[in-house]
Each structure stands twice: as structure tokens, then as C-alpha cells.
Amino acid sequence: MYWEVIEDDREGYGPFRVTTRGYDYSLVRGEATELWAIHWHPSGNSWERLPHVHLGDVLFADGAPVSSKSHLRTGRMTFENAVRWCIEFGGVPLHDDWDERLALAEAPHLLHRTWSANPDISTPPTPGVFT
């Protein structure tokens, strides 16, 4: 996750807050078998600037219409959501109440985020941060 502390002069929010600038979450089986990758990189080498997911080739049957190179657009994904995906793919949670814990950790972000589907990508990102 790429983040930055910024000034925020909105009533009840400031004077500072943390803002997410991008993320790269993935689940890898063994040494190198990527099952999925959840990305948002508003700058960098890829043409895709919106949040998206890549599904690993191991998940596809021969002749599938998409591949691990396909950018399947998503809304904004949280770290907690990535942890949920890990558990759905067979990860063993350390606590029986894992879903409630993730919901409590995620709630402040969901309540105060400034976007959920499409970020304002017209604002130039900080150079060199996402390469």
C-alpha cells in the first residue's frame, strides 16, 4: 500500500490524515504461482490507471477469454478486503471472529473515504512513487 500524510482542513477531519496513493496486493501459492493480484497504480508503466484485478493463469481453463495479463476493473479495494480474499482462497485465519475484526478495522475507511469507484486521476501523481 502506498500512502501519504496530507493536510486536511475539513471540519472534524484535520489537521492531518492519511490518504492512499495506490496499492498492490497479491496471493502467491508456493514460490511463484500467483493466484490473484489487486492493483491500483495511478502512475507507473501500465496504461491502466483505475483499480483492477489480475487473476492467475492457474485459475483459467484452456481457451479462457481472459488471462493473467487482463485488467479486470474493480472499485477501490481495501487491505482488509485483500485479507478476506486470502481466507476465501484457503488461508487459515488466526481468530474465529476474523470477519468481525476486519469489518471493525475497515469501517473508518469506508465511512470517510473520498472515492470508491473512480479516483480523480486527473491530478498528477507524485513523480517516481509508483514505478
Evaluate whether residue 6 is within a structural domain: no
pLDDT class for 122, splitting at 50, 70, 90?
Answer: low
Helix (H) or strand (E) holding 36: strand 33-40
Residue 101 lies in a domain: yes
**pLDDT per residue as tens digits for the range 27-49:** 999 998 999 999 999 887 888 99
Encode burial over 104-116: b for 16+ CB neighbours within 10 A, e otherwise.
eebeeeeeeeeee
- Which residues, including other chains, have CB under 8 Å from residue 66's CB and lie 6 or more apart? 55, 60, 72
Query: How confident is the model at residue 113, as a pLDDT?
Result: 85
In this prediction, residue 125 carries a pLDDT of: 43
In which domain, by residue range, is 42 found?
Answer: 23-112
Pairing of β 16-29 and β 72-73? unpaired
Domain membership of residue 126 (yes or no) is no
> Is 100 a member of any domain?
yes
CA distances from 64 to 56, 61, 82, 109, 118 (A): 12, 6, 24, 36, 28
Residue 35, in any domain of the structure: yes
pLDDT-derived band at 129, boundaries 50, 70, 90: very low
Tell me, yes or no, whether 87 lies in a domain. Answer: yes
User: How many domains are contained in the chain?
Assistant: 1
For 80-103, the pLDDT digits (tens) are 999 999 999 999 999 999 999 999
Q: Report yes or no on 80 lying in a domain.
A: yes
